[in-house]
Amino acid sequence: MTTEEMDAEDDARWKRNAAKMGDYENPENGCPNCGRHRVMRGDDGKHRCEKCAWCIEDSGYDGEFLDYLK
């Protein structure tokens, strides 16, 4: 893989994950996984916790987003 391809892949990954961050729309009891009251709704309409990257609609972790938050 060339440097240009790696840079393009990194840019695409960054844009994809940045689009997952949006306005805070906290459920009444916070994140169903960790309880934190900082849940964001991304451009795709899914809600993800900013602490543990739990995706409420998928009932699971968004591993790529969790790595992005580090």
* Model pLDDT, residue 40: 96
More confident residue, 58 or 69: 58
Residue 24: which H helix or E strand, with range?
A: strand 23-24
- At 7-17, the pLDDT tens digits run 999 999 999 99
Is residue 70 pLDDT above 90, yes or no?
no
Name the residue among 68, 6, 44 with its Cα closest to residue 56. 44
Domain ranges in the chain are 3-69
Is residue 36 pLDDT above 90, yes or no?
yes
CA distance 21 to 30: 16
* Model pLDDT, residue 50: 94
Please give the average per-residue pLDDT across 9-34, as a whole number. 93
